[in-house]
Structure 1
């Protein structure tokens, strides 16, 4: 495994003069950290204000990789179409510049602790939680990508740093995300019912 900090690897993606970046290139650069690092990057990208529909595209690597963590795969697998999908580097440079300082700060405060949380299926449980969060990210919910995206990023960093305290924070955030989604669904359902009632009274 490379000793290069993950934040430096990500910064390098933006500084590379080549016009396109592929997911395969990212996985190769992440080396043995590919699972956690890819979830972290795409989780952070989902936290940024992006054009409508972007969260669906950016959640696909999470949706494909998180289940593999859940079933204990040793190396990541992605379809060729995803691996070779060209991403315009000019479109990503600004995003990488925004997430790199955040990641640098997180690298300073995280460290290996509460390691028992990663034993006896602990890593797989993180995979299960991230899979469920990815299913939410795929949905075209306005501003609905922030909470689950941040949660995926926190759990991915916990996995990378073996930081059990951070994992606990991630589980708490996942619970809050689920509650927020449930509340939002309830509000939308109530609003739709009210609109139906208003319109039915007009005819």
Structure 2
């Protein structure tokens, strides 16, 4: 799996897309610009915005394509999205603002990423990473209060690790995924207890 374009950093590709003309940019536009083999790049683009605070509604737009892409990574398929997802779009100024928030984080990551322990980022381990990302992507899509950010951050680490063949980032992403599982299960348990308490309070 290669990067979004030969000799182009992901941050530079996103910046170029943000500066292009046009009122809106669709998910299909991102898919085309990031390249046929850039599953890692696409998964980062759809996951990382959900890891940022104060972006309500992001998971509703980016969560579903993230599920599709994670499934394709798990089964070793090329990136593809159905038309009803690819046609979704956001205003160009909103995309420009989003890229502006992502850009400094991504640039820092790109300075640290490099091929190492690459067996962890290649098949068959790559398929296991895809399966983990698929579970996390489903969690991101669900309306769990405070349950999106850490799973989305975990997917971001794993996606960059796959993109740059960096096994250390894969390990960091798997560790974050375990923390995500503990956090989300804790949040779910708390809300279930609250719901049961509310129901008990209404019963005679």
What is the RMSD of the two structures over their aligned residues, measured on CA atoms? 1.5
Structure 1 length normalisation: TM-score? 0.92
Structure-2 separation of matches of 1:140 and 1:105: 30
Structure-2 separation of matches of 1:151 and 1:64: 17
Q: Is 1:127 matched with 2:105? A: no
2:55 to 50, 53, 58: 50
Structure-2 separation of matches of 1:16 and 1:165: 34
1:22 touches 1:86 (CA, 8 Å); kept in 2?
yes
Which sections of structure 1, spanning at least 5 residues, go unmatched?
Answer: none
Deviations 1:41-98 (CA, angstroms, capped at 9, x unpaired): 11111112222x431221111111111111111x211111222223211122111100
1:152-191, aligned counterparts within 5 Å?
Answer: 152-191=155-194
Q: Tell me which residue corresponds to 1:99.
A: 102
Deviations 1:149-176 (CA, angstroms, capped at 9, x unpaired): 1111110000011110110010011111
| Structure 1 residue 33 displacement after superposition | 4.4
Structure-1 separation of matches of 2:8 and 2:48: 20
| Structure 1 residue 197 displacement after superposition | 3.1
2:36 touches 2:79 (CA, 8 Å); kept in 1?
no
| Structure 1 residue 183 displacement after superposition | 0.8
Structure 2 length normalisation: TM-score? 0.91
Q: Tell me which residue corresponds to 2:146.
A: 143
Structure-2 separation of matches of 1:4 and 1:39: 17
Instruction: Figure out how many residues of one structure are paired with residues of the other and give that number.
Output: 199
1:38 touches 1:61 (CA, 8 Å); kept in 2?
no
1:18 to 13, 19, 22: 22
The 3-state SS of whatever aligns with 1:152 is helix
Q: Tell me which residue corresponds to 1:64.
A: 68
Q: Tell me which residue corresponds to 2:44.
A: 40
Structure-1 separation of matches of 2:58 and 2:12: 25
| Structure of larger gyration radius | 1
The 3-state SS of whatever aligns with 2:99 is helix
Which sections of structure 2, spanning at least 5 residues, go unmatched?
Answer: none
1:154 touches 1:166 (CA, 8 Å); kept in 2?
yes
Structure-1 separation of matches of 2:108 and 2:184: 29
Structure-2 separation of matches of 1:192 and 1:78: 37
